[in-house]
A and B are shown apart, each in its own frame.
Chain A
């Protein structure tokens, strides 16, 4: 009886793991990241599954939210943005949870140049797997067309450093970036890629049920790529819109409160069609 039961249990647990093997993605979103002039910038911070508008999770609060601004070769300037972070309720078709908004006023967004936003969330407990997750997320915005520090590492515990302007990507371009942990390239790191198929509705603080993509098979929902020996990823962008990249478990912290921690690095880029 016991011998028969074991394979069944094993099969069941495999089923459960494959059921939960969806990509968790920290979303730091604002509709436009290539701005002609400074303006108020309304952002949302949500921990969810953007390709499927799936389960939305409690990220455990926002530990840090700031921007590194730079125009040309001037010195980069750090501005703390925690005062603009507000808790909100986020709704997906079959899931709701707390999330955050941040309305960054024009006075902080007035200068031309790059704005590298960094959001370090708290810790999320993934009950099914008994592991904590923390996805440190970057979103890079430009005002006025003068580049700045978009290709510079910020010096985060782990981060994805783009090698193509992440706010000026054409559909069909190759997104290339380097994954760093404590400033050093990470070879053979697993990087998950998802498309924002359900565009966030900032007024309703929700993702709609309609998807802009028909996925032919479950394996297309979350694409998986690996970094090469020097920590580089390359990914052809097949469709205009938002693409998220999450390098899993690359951070130096491996444990939190006695449990395994997956400290991930996330970056979002936006591709535009050539017209």
Chain B
């Protein structure tokens, strides 16, 4: 019985640890009008996105650029000439993808 309680407690702790990530990732990108794109990110609880990976891919899903959010949770890169998309990748379940066509001034 005692063993069962310990197992149950551990199981509950694991479940709650999962819930501690009850924040959603958020990203917004805009075209600076000078050939560059700026993306800014963060989480719905206000925590920083500094160091979060950013993948820029072309229309075929091939990698164009791999970078990270800076200390202000932002990154700026040259606008790809062809179709592209930007992914904010803070791990499984914490990804946001924005189509380049939706990134405007």
Contacts and interface: CB of A to CB of B under 8 A. Distances in A.
B30 A110 contact: yes
Contact of B43 (A37, A38, A72, A110): A72
Interface string A130-146: 00000000000001111
Interface residues of A, number: 16
Contacts of B28: 37-38, 111-112, 143-144
Interface residues of B, number: 15
The main secondary structure of chain B at its interface with chain A is loop
B81 to A, nearest CB: 24
B48 A146 contact: no
A147 interface: yes
A146 B24 CA distance: 9
Contacts of A73: 46-48
Interface in B1-49: 24, 26, 28, 30, 40, 42-49
B72 interface: yes
Contacts of A166: none
Interface in A140-160: 143-148
A74 interface: yes
Interface in B62-97: 72-73
Contacts of B47: 72-73
A73 B49 CA distance: 10
A73 B28 CA distance: 17
A71 B44 CA distance: 10
Contacts of A143: 28
Contact of A148 (B24, B43, B46): B46
Contact of A146 (B30, B44, B72): B44
Nearest to A110: B30
A143 B44 CA distance: 11
A44 B18 CA distance: 45
A112 B40 contact: yes
A111 B28 CA distance: 8
A72 B44 contact: no
A71 B46 CA distance: 7
B72 A112 contact: no
A71 B30 contact: no
Interface string A97-118: 0000000000000111100000
B72 A74 contact: yes
A147 B45 contact: yes
Nearest to A107: B105
Nearest to A113: B42
6 contacts: A38-B28, A71-B40, A72-B47, A113-B42, A147-B44, A147-B45
Interface of A: 37-38, 71-74, 110-113, 143-148
Given A73-B48, A111-B28, A147-B46, 19 more contacts: A71-B40, A71-B42, A71-B73, A72-B43, A72-B49, A73-B46, A73-B47, A74-B73, A110-B30, A112-B26, A112-B40, A112-B42, A143-B28, A144-B26, A145-B26, A146-B26, A146-B42, A146-B43, A148-B46
